């Protein structure tokens, strides 16, 4: 009898920033699979990386997935029989599991300093070897380890990985995958701050939450042999693994926030219908057949098979997304069309920033549509504007824009004061005159010289759209220069 009594799948995002389209993509496939098998779809928050953790991000993940209608059966907000579903609340479980591995002689304490590890890696590189841990602490006896821990020495816990042989697993999309064990390090399971690594926490949770099918993005495929070794060390039954292909640009490079809008919220702000987004994501690596492009998640669930996913990188093509969205808009009834406008586009939440932006700038409301165009638009048309301040070159401007975009990316509090502080600091760093600097930002974000106060306008437009426009303006500068 299998350990897994039914199909249970999960999406396990890390709350490290704005929810990514990749999370939604993985959620679509997991959700379709769960629906098809009458299984459970679980949301787990993987928040053990304390350095990258962003508090607001968890809430945004819920919102983004709910917007798409991808509801989960168990999760931190919903509870469930196999919780808690937030990894930071499961630390004692990881501690107990890692202690068991040490006790069984399958894992060990490693006291090597960062300096020593660097030195080992450098030497390995110099002699043309693959850098990795050299097993220095493998033979430290349990007694010695205990004494050193009692003396307060810092340590990590590593898994003893066989030096010889290979680790294999079957990927439901890609078939058999073999990795030589000599390519696998004695992976760290518990870090020196006592927190588990992604590998340990992920495997322990997948097992305890009885996840029967691990359906995740291709970028994790190199971690899977490590996970397989962990399942073996624990003596646990292996789930089915399936790695969905990475989303790519038309030039086949991986989509990334430096080049693409990857924040789910951007698409919501742009006026993509959630059903269209789900449909579009479902087309990434899978097709309905019969040349059908438009289908619902339920229709997808009725015929979806993991084996039918194509491992080749699907193109996350904005033109296709617009086309799918157009079909969905065209298919709306009048009632649904108005409902969307009322609930999403002209919702109270969406309209209320207009109050403080425009209340002292209107003679009559017929001026609003024109003045507030930047608030509702997606991309802007820069052709009628001269973005370049006097005395600055196109490359100065590009540098300025990419620097600003980078700084905004790292800014998690999107309030006026923090936006202003970032801009002030950036301006001072690159030594632009205030007038040149702020007018440029104003033109790029609002497309006009006479917008309401800048930081307030940026807050209202939203971080994802601001970053999109900065990138778009940089591309425009580049193309008009050619
Ligand atoms: N926390 C990982 C992520 O952010 C989960 C990967 C997995 O599904 O195993 O995507």
Residue 441 backbone phi and psi in degrees, to 5: -60, -40
Instruction: Give the β-pairing of 166-171 and 175-180.
Output: antiparallel
CA of 216, closest atom in ligand 1: 8
In a domain, 467, yes or no: yes
Atom 6 (ligand 1) nearest CA: 12
| CB of 12 sitting under 6 A from ligand 1 | yes
Question: What's the rounded Cα separation, in Å, for the pair 157 and 147?
Answer: 15
- Give distance in angstroms: CA of 14 to centre of ligand 1: 7
Pocket lining: 48 vs ligand 1, CB cutoff 6 Å: no
In a domain, 414, yes or no: yes
Check residue 337 and give left, alpha or beta (phi > 0: left; psi -120 to 50: alpha): alpha
**Can 257 be counted among the known catalytic residues?**
yes
> For ligand 1, is residue 49 a contact (CB within 6 Å)?
no
With a 6 A CB cut-off, is 53 part of the ligand 1 pocket? no
CA 30 / ligand 1 centre spacing (Å): 13
**Rounded (10°) angle between helices 454-461 and 434-446:** 30
pTM of this structure:
0.92
Final residue of a structural domain among 201, 229, 257: 201
Task: Give the atom of ligand 1 at the shortest distance from the alpha carbon of 12.
Answer: 5
- The answer, yes or no, to whether any atom of ligand 1 lies below 6 A from the CB of 187, is no
- Residue span of the structural domain in which 406 resides: 362-481
Is residue 202 in contact with ligand 1, taking CB distance under 6 Å? yes
Mutating to test ligand 1, I would choose from 20, 42, 220 the residue with most ligand atoms within 8 A of its C-beta, which is: 220
User: What's the total number of domains in the chain?
Assistant: 2
End-of-domain residue from the set 168, 201, 234: 201
Crossing angle (nearest 10°) for helices 274-282 and 21-36: 80
List strand residue ranges (DSSP E) for 218-298, in order. Answer: 240-244
**Is there a domain that residue 307 lies in?**
no
Does an H or E element contain 157, and which? Answer: strand 156-159
384: which 2 tokens?
A: 């009628």
One digit per residue, pLDDT tens: the chain, 482 residues?
A: 799 999 999 999 999 877 899 999 999 999 999 999 999 999 999 998 877 878 788 999 999 999 999 999 999 999 999 999 999 999 999 999 999 999 999 999 999 999 999 999 999 999 988 888 999 999 999 999 999 999 999 999 999 999 899 999 999 999 999 999 988 999 999 999 999 999 999 999 999 999 999 999 999 999 999 999 999 999 999 999 999 999 998 888 999 877 888 999 899 999 999 999 999 999 999 999 988 999 999 999 999 999 999 999 899 999 999 999 999 999 999 999 999 999 999 999 999 999 999 999 999 999 999 999 999 999 999 998 889 999 999 999 999 999 999 999 989 899 999 999 999 999 999 999 999 999 999 999 999 998 899 999 999 999 999 999 999 999 998 887 65
For residue 310, is it within any domain? no
User: Considering the domain boundaries, does residue 129 fall inside one?
Assistant: yes
Cα–Cα distance list, 250 to 167, 243, 378, 392 (Å): 34, 21, 21, 33
Distance CA 22, CA 13 (A): 10
CA of 74 to the centre of ligand 1 (A): 17
CATH of the domain at 136: 3.90.800.10
Nearest-atom number in ligand 1 for the CA of 23 is 10
Residue 471 placed within a domain: yes
CA of 312 to the centre of ligand 1 (A): 20
The answer to whether position 34 is within a domain reads: no
Residue 332: which H helix or E strand, with range? Answer: none
* Domain-ending residue, one of 201, 226, 241: 201
Q: Residue 452 is part of a domain; what is its CATH number?
A: 1.10.10.350
CB 142 within 8 A of CB 99: no
Instruction: Name the catalytic one among 95, 254, 257, 392.
Output: 257
* Cis preceding-peptide flag for 84 (omega within 30 of 0): yes
Closest-lying ligand 1 atom to the alpha carbon of residue 217: 8
Q: Which residues pair with 41 in a beta bridge?
A: 9
């Amino acid at each position: 009898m299998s350990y897994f009594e039914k199909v249970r799948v999960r999406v396990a995002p890390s709350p490290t920033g704005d929810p990514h389209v990749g999370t939604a993509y993985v959620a679509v496939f997991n959700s379709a699979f769960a629906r098809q098998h009458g299984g459970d779809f679980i949301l787990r928050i993987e928040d053990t990386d304390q350095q990258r953790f962003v508090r607001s991000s968890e809430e945004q993940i819920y919102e983004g997935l709910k917007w798409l209608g991808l509801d989960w059966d168990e999760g931190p907000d919903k509870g469930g029989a196999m919780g808690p579903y937030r990894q930071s609340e499961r630390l004692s479980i990881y501690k107990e599991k890692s202690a068991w591995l040490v006790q069984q002689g399958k894992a060990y304490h490693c006291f090597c300093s960062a300096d020593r590890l660097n030195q080992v890696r450098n030497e390995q590189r110099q002699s043309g070897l693959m850098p990795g841990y050299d097993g220095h602490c493998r033979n430290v006896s349990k007694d010695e380890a205990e004494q050193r821990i009692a003396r307060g020495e810092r340590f990590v816990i590593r898994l003893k990985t066989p030096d010889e042989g290979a680790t294999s697993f079957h990927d439901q999309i890609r078939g058999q995958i073999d990795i030589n064990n000599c390519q696998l390090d004695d992976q760290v399971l518990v870090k020196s701050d006592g927190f588990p690594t992604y590998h340990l926490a992920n495997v322990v949770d997948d097992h305890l939450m009885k996840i029967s099918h691990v359906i995740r993005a291709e970028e994790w495929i190199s971690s899977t042999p490590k996970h397989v070794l962990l399942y073996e060390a624990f003596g646990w039954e292996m789930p089915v693994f399936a790695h969905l292909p990475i989303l790519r640009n038309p030039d086949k490079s991986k989509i990334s926030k430096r080049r693409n809008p990857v924040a789910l919220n951007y698409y919501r702000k742009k006026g993509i219908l959630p059903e269209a987004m789900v449909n579009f994501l479902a087309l990434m690596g899978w097709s309905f057949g019969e040349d059908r492009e438009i289908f619902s998640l339920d229709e997808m669930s009725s015929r979806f098979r993991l084996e039918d996913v194509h491992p080749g990188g699907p193109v996350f093509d904005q033109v296709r997304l617009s086309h799918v969205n157009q079909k969905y808009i065209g298919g709306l009834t009048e009632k649904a069309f108005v409902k969307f406008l009322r609930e999403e586009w002209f919702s109270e939440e969406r309209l209320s920033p207009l109050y403080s932006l425009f209340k002292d700038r209107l003679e009559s409301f017929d001026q609003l549509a024109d003045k507030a165009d930047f608030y509702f638009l997606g991309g802007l048309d820069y052709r009628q504007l001269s973005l370049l301040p006097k005395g600055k070159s196109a490359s100065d401007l590009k540098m300025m824009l990419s620097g600003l975009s980078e700084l905004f990316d790292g800014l998690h509090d999107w309030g006026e004061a923090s936006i202003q502080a970032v801009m002030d600091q950036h301006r001072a760093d690159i030594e632009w005159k205030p007038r040149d600097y702020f007018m440029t930002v104003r033109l790029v974000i609002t497309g006009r010289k006479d917008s309401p106060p800048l930081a307030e306008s940026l807050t209202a437009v939203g971080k994802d759209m601001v970053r999109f426009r900065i990138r778009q303006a940089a591309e425009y500068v580049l193309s008009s220069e050619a």
